[in-house]
Amino acid sequence: LEGVFNALPNEQELDYFDSYFKALKEISTKWNEQQSERVFNALIFVSKHSINTNNDEDKDRKLVELLELISTKLNDKQLYLLVINLLERAKKKCVYYVQYALPKISEDMWKRAIICGLKENIQMKNENTLMNKQNSNNRICKIDNDTSIRLLVFGLMIFNPRIQLSFDENNTNFDDLNELIRYCDKQAVEWKFPTHQSKWNNSTIDSDIQYPCLNNEIEQ
């Protein structure tokens, strides 16, 4: 996809994306899992590249529209990567088409992306701990990268602050959701917002809007 796109003259770029969008819309209902994965990988590769380049806004808008088109057909890992990609765009430059796409993510899709991200983060930390034990003399370990979780929390608090998660659903455990609470609290402190389980008390907006919380009391 990127090779074909880059080979086109500038004046043909939008026509190419318009054609690609129409074609995907027609055939996406007939994809099998392998075909869906190949299309997603191609689109997310181009989209990641475009975030850090000076491509024009029309091209980026079409990329976001293409990703949005296939969003309901993604597995949990792909959905997580898609949400992270959109949030990276939003944090760098939240243009109108990203602002439009993010609120359309359903609560169920947010839950799937968050749970996938938390599990990956926990797994990475466990791998780091194991590597540290195995290499105690040399202290060789992976770098613990929490950038993705911070992005998820950033998006969650802006676009779905009332989401409720249960630690007994989707095989989510105590550690997973406590990790989410810790990151939410860090972001809340940075923004000078109320922290865990507190409420907003601003008479100019809906009164007693809850901070993002769990519907199970897993912390005392």
Alpha carbons 22 and 62: distance in angstroms, whole number: 11
Dist CA 72 CA 205 (whole Å):
33
CA distance 200 to 210: 7
Does position 7 have pLDDT exceeding 70, yes or no?
Answer: no
Q: Which two tokens stand for residue 36?
A: 């869906």
pLDDT per residue as tens digits for the range 21-72: 777 777 777 778 888 888 899 888 888 888 777 566 777 888 888 888 888 8
Which run of H or E residues covers position 24?
A: helix 13-27
Euclidean distance between CA atoms 150 and 133, whole angstroms? 27
Residues 6+ apart with CB under 8 A from 155: 83, 86, 87, 90, 102
Amino acid (1-letter code) at residue 125 = K
Say how many C-beta atoms besides its own lie within 10 A of residue 16's C-beta: 17
pLDDT band per the 50, 70, 90 thresholds, residue 10: low
- Measured CA to CA, the distance from residue 34 to residue 28 in angstroms comes to 12
CA distances in angstroms from 121 to 25, 45, 108, 127, listed in the order given: 34, 22, 20, 10
For residue 143, what pLDDT band results from cuts at 50, 70 and 90? Answer: very low
- pLDDT per position as a tens digit, 83-142: 999 998 888 876 788 888 888 889 899 988 988 888 888 778 777 777 777 665 554 444
Here the tokens at position 180 are: 């989410």
User: What pTM was estimated for this model as a whole?
Assistant: 0.73
In this structure, what are the phi and psi dihedrals at residue 75, rounded to the nearest 5 degrees? -80, 180
Distance of CA 56 to the CA centre of its chain: 23
